[in-house]
Amino acid sequence: MSEIFDEWPERYDQWFRTPIGRLVKEYESKLILEMLRPGHGERILDAGCGTGVFTLDML
């Protein structure tokens, strides 16, 4: 059954490389950072956040 989902993570990440996906990612990343308001040196735990496509923006 797991092989059904094997290709989904790559397809999910690829969508964010499309024109509309890039726009959505930019908007969502800004919203996430605004909501988290991380301070200098503060740590953020990325747990259960899928492929981590937004995690790189937090770094």
Q: 20: which 2 tokens?
A: 């509309």
Q: Which residues contact 49 (CB under 8 A, 6 or more apart)?
A: 55
Mean pLDDT (the chain) is: 86
| pLDDT tens profile 2-11 | 676 678 888 9
Q: What angle do CA 36, 37, 40 make, to 5 degrees?
A: 120
pLDDT value at position 24? Answer: 95
Structural domain of residue 41, as residue ranges?
Answer: 2-58
Domain count, the chain: 1
pLDDT value at position 21? Answer: 96
